[in-house]
Structure formats: C-alpha cells, structure tokens
Structure 1
Amino acid sequence: MNRICLCLPTNRACSATLTAIHAEAAYAARHFGADVQLLILDSSGERTRVAHARVLAALPPARHVTVHHLDEDAQRDVLRRAVEQAGLPEPDRLVRLMLPPAVSYGACTNRAFLLAAALGCTSVHRRDSDSSYQLHAGQPVFPIHHELPWLGRPAAEATGTVTRTELALNLLHRPVSLAGASFIGELSVDIGEMRRLDEGVYRDVVGLWAPGDWPEERRRDLVGESFTGAGTAPFTGDHSTLTLVDPMRVDMCNIAFDRAVYERIPLPPATDTIGSDYFLLHLVHDARLPGILHNRHIENFHTPERRSDTGFPAYQRRFVKFLLSMLYFHDVYDRMAAEGDRLLDDRQQVRPDRIVGFLRDSTALDRTENVWRLDRIDTAYRKLGGRYAAFAEQLAEERAQLLDEAASDIEDFAHLADVWPALIEAART
C-alpha cells in the first residue's frame, strides 16, 4: 500500500479546512488504496489548538487514514532527535532554521518533508489553511485525484490517463516528480488594495520581482500574470497535462512532490517573507523532471489579520523581502536552467551539491540592484499615501537590515541544503 503524507501547516483557526482535508484523505484512501498520514502542523495559539484537537477528535474514523496533530513543542522534539541522530554541527542553528520563532512558509513545509520521511511516506501533498476546495455537482473537487497514483513512477506509464502529453520522448523514462494546479479567487499575494488605489503604482511594485535587466515589455507581461493563479472560472471538468510544469501555473496550496525531490533538497527557511516555498517548483522544471499539471484549482481567500493595523505592516514587510530575495533567486534559477540535465545524477535524482554551490555563489552578488528596488518601493508607497506612506517610513529605517536579511536568508538556505540529506536519513530512523 502506498503511504503518502497529506499536510496542512497552519497558524490560524481553520476548523472547516481540517474537516475538508480529512475528507480528501478519506477520498485518497478509498479511491486509490493509499495509506494516508494526515499531518496537521499546528503553530496556533493554545485556545485555537485545543479547538482544532476537538474538531479532529470528532471526525468519523476513515479506513487507512491516520491523523497526526502536532503542536510546535512536539515538532521541535522530533527535530531535535533527528538533528542529534544525524550528529550534525551547530544543532541549535539547524533546529532554529527548521522551526524559527517567526513566520516561515518554507520552514513549515520542510518540517512536513522531514516528518513524511520519518513516517515512511513516498510523497507529500500540501494544502493551505487560507484556501478551500471548489464544489462541482455538489461534491468537493479534490486535487489528490490527479496527484495519485503517478508520483514516482515513469512518466510513460501516465500517458494513457492524462488528457494530453507535452513531454519529449527522451524524458518519458524519468519519474513523475510533481503534480499540481493553481487557485481561483483573490490574488495569491494580498496586494489587491494597491491595485485598486493606483494601477500604475501596482505595476511598478509588482514589476520589481523581475530581474533588473529585463526590458519593459517583458516586465509588463510578468506583472499581468503575477499572483493571479487560474483566474476566477470555476471547475467544470477534468483536464490534465503530462509536461515540464511551468512554476507560474501552480501554487504551493495545491501541490504534491515525490520523495526523490524533497528528500534531496529542502525549501528556503527564510522568515518573514512570502514566496520562500516555491524553490522546488523551479528545480523540478529546470532539471527537466516530468510533472502533471491539472485543473482542480483550489479557492484562495485572504484572512482579515493581514489588513489589520498590526498585520498590514508585517505583511508588507514580507512582500518587500520577497522582492529583495529575487536578486539571489534569479541568479540561482538562471544557473539551474543552464545546468539542465546535469542537475541530475545517473539515477535521475537531483544532485544537492550543485544547488548548494549555486546558492553559496549567489551570496557574493552586488547589492546595488536591491538598493534600487528599495528606492522604487519607497517612491511607490509614499505616492499611495496613508498607511502605505507610514510603512515607507518604517522601511527607510530598516533598509540596511533588510539588505542584510536578504543575503543571510540565502546563506541559511545553503547551510540547510548542505546537511539536508543527512537530516532526512536520520529522520527515517
């Protein structure tokens, strides 16, 4: 029986999502014969965690579905034991990178990867607590329908079941390493208000995540498709493509990876930034590993705390850190794309040493481009006025710190990636 990990990291109340993801787990077990380890990584406050525990305890038992509800203390215990077992240097630093005191989308998913290895799972299927499943003919549209059973199997075996194949013949022997779709509804990044206030400012700011040397036309095209997912059209019927999946066509709220990917390379553990969990999408694409792109999109919504008096500046800071991280990631992505097949060993598995080398090299990049980004952001936010202008004042005081954090985040990622295979091996024991 294929053992899989269906995972929901959360730091907020999400009782309805817990009930829905349990139903998806039962669907996977019932329709595909999977042994589903439903992993809830709960970083919520005590009252919310207790409420979540009550919801999970009240769910009807489902055959071949095992629920693991872990608070941060339980997660930290597993991490410490794995680090000790691996005998790695700087153990406290590793535990902090895996479970930092601040918000980290990459770190929470890395914990899922490590726990999946400990549970003996062959794949990880991730969902988010600020999203929900679409309904079609009164039934939930579960993405796992397309994620199973092809992950880890030769792409050639999937050609008879997908709607279409856009994969070169010489890649059909490679394993299906990713399956995913996107979302419908609100923008994936909560900056819709910025667009409503001033379309020009929105284009200027969003365009900053492109490489600094891109021509204006290419930058405009990127802005047009950024953070929009699959639009707003609801699901009407299944469509799937066996292909090299474009990272712009999938979202981390609706993704599944084969163990041969996430057990080789983790995600960036950067804190207080968005977009830190998308690295593996680029790696799978650039290494020319097959994937399945489907259309069971998840519905995205924004929770109110991002727009509160305290939540707004915190979220905008995460967005700015994302823009600054692109200086380094674009360099690494370019080098991965140029490397192509050489990212894989003779077993068609990712070579971690190549990625670690690219990351370490990128930390020596000149920061001038990021200084330019901060200048553009300052001008744009002051033009919007109100709380955006107030945030620009905060940003002016933190410029040097933000530039340093963007570089140190990459250094931390390189460090974690270097020891990751040993950490995964320790988790298995």
Structure 2
Amino acid sequence: MRRVCLALPTNRACAGTITALAEEAAHAAAHFDVEVHLLILDTSDSSGTSDAAGAPEAAEDTGATPFARNAAAVAALAPAPRVVVHHLDEAWQRAFLERVIRRSGVPGPGLLLDLMLPDAVSYGACTNRIFLVAAALGCTSVHRRDSDGDYQLLDGRKVFPIDHELRALGRRAGDVAADATAVTRNELDPAHGDRPVVLVGGSFIGELSVDVGEIRELDPAVYHDVVGLWAPPVWSEEEKRELVEASFTGGGTEPFRADETVLGPPDIWRVDMCNLGLDHRVYERLPLPPATDTIGSDYFLLHVVLDTGLPGVVHNRHIVNYYTPERRTGPGFTAYQVRFAKFLLSMLYLHPVYGEMTALGEDLLDERHEVRTAPILDSVRRSADWDPAENVRRLDVLDRSYRRLGGKYADFADHLAPLRERLLAEARADAERFALLIDAWGALVAAAHAERAAATGETGAAG
C-alpha cells in the first residue's frame, strides 16, 4: 500500500479548510489502496490574540490564537481508516529541519535553515518543507491544497481532485492512456508511453488568483501595463496581450458539471498550486525557489515537467478560490502588493532558466526518465548575472501605473519608491539562493528519508 501526502501549508486560522481536507483524505483512503497522511504545516500565531483572518468561517473571533483554532479543528476530526493526521507547528518544523540539515552534512546549515524556514512569507519554502516531510513519511506523492479555497459541489457532494491524482500519478503514461476512468482525452505522444505521469492538476474558479482584479476594474489599460510586466521583454505586443488575457484567470467561472481530463504535455496555464498532485520523482529532484514575499515562487516545477516532456493530466475539478480580507486594506494590501512587485522582478531571473529548459527539452531526462538537475542548476546560477536594467524599468512602470490609479495605489507607490534598491538586490539574491538550495537538495532529501522514524515518532503538535 502506497503512502500519499495530502498537504496544507498555512499561516492563518482555517478550521473549515482543515475539516474539508480531512473529508478528502477519508474519501481517498476509502476508494484507493493508499494510506493518506494529512499534513498541516502550520506557522500561524500560537502566542498572541487571533487576527480573525483566513477562511470565511474564521471571521468570528473566538479569542483563541489562530494556531489554537486550527488545533481545535484537528482535534474534532473523526478518525478515518488509513488516514493519519499531522498538525505540525513551527517549532516542530524547525527541529525537523535542523536534524535533516545536520544529517545531510551540507555546508552552511544556518543559511539552509533560513531558506527552508524564513521569517517572512515564502510560498516556495513552505512547499519545500512539505516535500521533505513527505519524504520522511515515506510518501510517494504530494497533493497540495491552500487555506483560501474550497471544493465544488455536484448533486450536493464535494468534488475531490484527489480522485484524478491517485488514478494517474506515478503510473506508466501508456497505461493511463488506456484507462477510461483516468482520462477523457489523450494527447500523449505514443513515444512517451513508458514515461511516468508525474503531475496531475486542475485550477480554480472564482476571483483572479492574484489580487489585481480591482486594477482591471479601475483602468483596463493600467491593468494591461502592470500584468504585462511579467512577460519576457522580447515578446511582441500581441504575445503580451494574450498573456494578460490569460493571466490569473484559472478555470474561469463555470461550475463543475462533468469530468474532463487530458493526458499529455500539461497545460500549466490551467494548473494552480492550490489544486496539484506531484510525483516524488519531480520534487525529490528539485526544490522550489525559496524567495520570500514573492507570489508565484512555487510554480517552478510545473515548468520543469512541461519542458522535460514528462506527462501530466489536467482536469476540471477546480477549487473554489476566495480571498482573505486582509489582502484588500491597510497593511495587508501593502504587503500583498509588495509580493506582487517582487513576483514581477523575479521574472528577470526565471525567464532565462525557462528558456534554456525549453531548449534542452528531453535532454533534461536521463535513461530512467528522471530529471537531470545539473543543467538546471547551471542555468539558475548564471541567471543571477543578468543586467538588472529590465527590473529598473519594471519598477518605473509600476510607479507610473499605480500613481495613475490614485488612492491607495498612489499611496503604495509612495511606499515602494524608497524600497527600490532593496527589492532589486533581493531579487538577485533570491536567484543566488535558489541555486544554493538546488545544490543541497539531493542531500537534504536523502537525509529526510533517513529521518522517517523521527518524523513519525515525535508528537509535539502532531494530531
């Protein structure tokens, strides 16, 4: 029986999401020959008063800390056969990482710990922690969800993405193509039939995945200028316009009615990290960029799968996306817009890597259809030397665009202006640190496998 990891990284109270994920875990264990490890990596506040941020049902403040409210939700879960729940607080995660890093023997343990568990928000780092804990638990796949999403309903029943993930992940692509329960459309190159399916994903319905919808409503021209900044500068205006139209829209707004699953080169424009299953043969080879305060830093492996020619399945069991209220006002708005600006700056260093991976294509796979990490590491290292002039231009466009919008956006432009040099330096440093983590990743994964007994034997905050 294989072990799989259904994972939720969170830094907020999200009792409703925890309850819903437990339902998905129980459903998976009841319908597939798997043991499901429901992993909640929780860095929410465990000492102060609750901020009442998170899922809609968390809006009523009980006076308990966000971590305590999550812990109460875990304690209230009904036991389910072959479902093991792990609710791991920041102290547990830190101790686990310290052991793994020490066991790995990789130099610079202090820096590695900062890259894996930084003080600031990091979408890549929290997912990298999931990967290492999953390795320690002996899981063969990770199934990631987010705290600001919910499941769609069909005839009153929740539609769980994990069905499609477990039907295909890790299997020979040719066998998946022949399985009518796994795919409704086959676009697989017959020559790739022996390759494993390493990615199964869907998207979301509802609001844009990135909180820029208000900009589009206020001024579509400004929206085009701002969102177009994440395109490669060499693209034509038509290509940029198509990018802007497709960006952050996910699966649109149409509700789920019937399954549509496509096997082949995955359309990563229709896959989001809130709705993703990955095989261990991908995430145990490469980590995600550990950049802090940078949205989109957790999408790197989707490009790896597509560019190497590894098969995937894209489905339409989309997650319902909603926003937590703190994104839209005051300090929360400012923090989120900084993360969006850093996302745009990160493209200077990621686009060259994506381009080189596309050019190398299948040459990035070895004879066992596993990713060759050395060429990617070399590309990431060299990307840090790119001329930052394009990022200076991006910041100029952001400043001009936000001042044109006025109001809180003009205020944000005032906030951003004195941060320019720091943000430019951080974007370059993020590329350099990503290379360091790639170089250490193999040893960290091996050490995590060796930590299995410790990971399952300690309790701490584990439920």
TM-score band (shorter)? over 0.9
Task: After TM superposition, give the deviation of residue 56 of structure 1 in Å.
Answer: 1.0
- Residue 311 (str. 1) matches residue 329 (str. 2): no
CA distance in structure 2 between the aligned counterparts of 1:246 and 1:370, rounded to whole angstroms: 28
CA distance in structure 2 between the aligned counterparts of 1:213 and 1:219, rounded to whole angstroms: 10
Task: After TM superposition, give the deviation of residue 57 of structure 1 in Å.
Answer: 1.1
Task: After TM superposition, give the deviation of residue 322 of structure 1 in Å.
Answer: 0.3
Helix, strand or coil at the partner of 2:24 = helix
The residue aligned with 1:302 is: 323
The one-character-per-residue Cα deviations of 1:10-32 (angstroms, maximum 9, x if unpaired) are 11111110000000000110001
The residue aligned with 2:21 is: 21
2:430 alignment partner AA: D
CA distance in structure 2 between the aligned counterparts of 1:246 and 1:356, rounded to whole angstroms: 24
- Residue 208 (str. 1) matches residue 229 (str. 2): yes
Q: How does 1:250-265 map to 2 (within 5 A)?
A: 250-265=271-286
Task: After TM superposition, give the deviation of residue 344 of structure 1 in Å.
Answer: 1.0
- Residue 363 (str. 1) matches residue 368 (str. 2): no
Helix, strand or coil at the partner of 1:237 = coil
Helix, strand or coil at the partner of 2:132 = helix
TM-score by length of 2: 0.92
The residue aligned with 1:73 is: 91
- Residue 30 (str. 1) matches residue 48 (str. 2): no
> Given the alignment, which residue of 270, 295, 300 partners 1:274?
295
The residue aligned with 2:269 is: 248
The residue aligned with 2:209 is: 188
CA distance in structure 2 between the aligned counterparts of 1:402 and 1:58, rounded to whole angstroms: 43
The residue aligned with 1:421 is: 442
Task: After TM superposition, give the deviation of residue 193 of structure 1 in Å.
Answer: 1.1
CA distance in structure 2 between the aligned counterparts of 1:222 and 1:18, rounded to whole angstroms: 34
The residue aligned with 2:54 is: none
Helix, strand or coil at the partner of 2:167 = coil
The one-character-per-residue Cα deviations of 1:132-189 (angstroms, maximum 9, x if unpaired) are 0001100001000100032112101101221111011111110000000000000000
> Given the alignment, which residue of 329, 352, 355 partners 1:334?
355
The one-character-per-residue Cα deviations of 1:191-233 (angstroms, maximum 9, x if unpaired) are 1111111111011100000011111111001000100001000
Q: Which runs of 5+ in 2 are unaligned?
A: 47-64, 451-463
- Residue 112 (str. 1) matches residue 130 (str. 2): yes
Task: After TM superposition, give the deviation of residue 336 of structure 1 in Å.
Answer: 0.2
1:72 alignment partner AA: E
The one-character-per-residue Cα deviations of 1:341-375 (angstroms, maximum 9, x if unpaired) are 11111111011111110100111111111111111
The residue aligned with 1:292 is: 313
The residue aligned with 2:176 is: 158
The residue aligned with 2:150 is: 132
Task: After TM superposition, give the deviation of residue 308 of structure 1 in Å.
Answer: 2.1
1:98 alignment partner AA: M
Helix, strand or coil at the partner of 2:168 = coil
TM-score by length of 1: 0.99
> Given the alignment, which residue of 244, 248, 251 partners 1:230?
251
CA distance in structure 1 between the aligned counterparts of 2:258 and 2:265, rounded to whole angstroms: 22
> Given the alignment, which residue of 408, 412, 420 partners 1:387?
408
- How many residue pairs match? The answer is 429
The residue aligned with 1:101 is: 119
Task: After TM superposition, give the deviation of residue 323 of structure 1 in Å.
Answer: 0.5
The structure 1 segments of at least 4 consecutive aligned residues displaced by more than 4 Å after TM superposition are none
- Residue 400 (str. 1) matches residue 418 (str. 2): no
> Given the alignment, which residue of 66, 69, 75 partners 1:48?
66
Helix, strand or coil at the partner of 1:266 = coil
1:422 alignment partner AA: A
2:384 alignment partner AA: T
CA distance in structure 2 between the aligned counterparts of 1:274 and 1:280, rounded to whole angstroms: 15
The residue aligned with 2:12 is: 12
CA distance in structure 2 between the aligned counterparts of 1:411 and 1:344, rounded to whole angstroms: 24
2:426 alignment partner AA: E
Provide the alpha-carbon RMSD of the alignment: 0.7
2:166 alignment partner AA: L
CA distance in structure 2 between the aligned counterparts of 1:309 and 1:55, rounded to whole angstroms: 29
Answer with 121-130 or 239-248: which moved more: 239-248
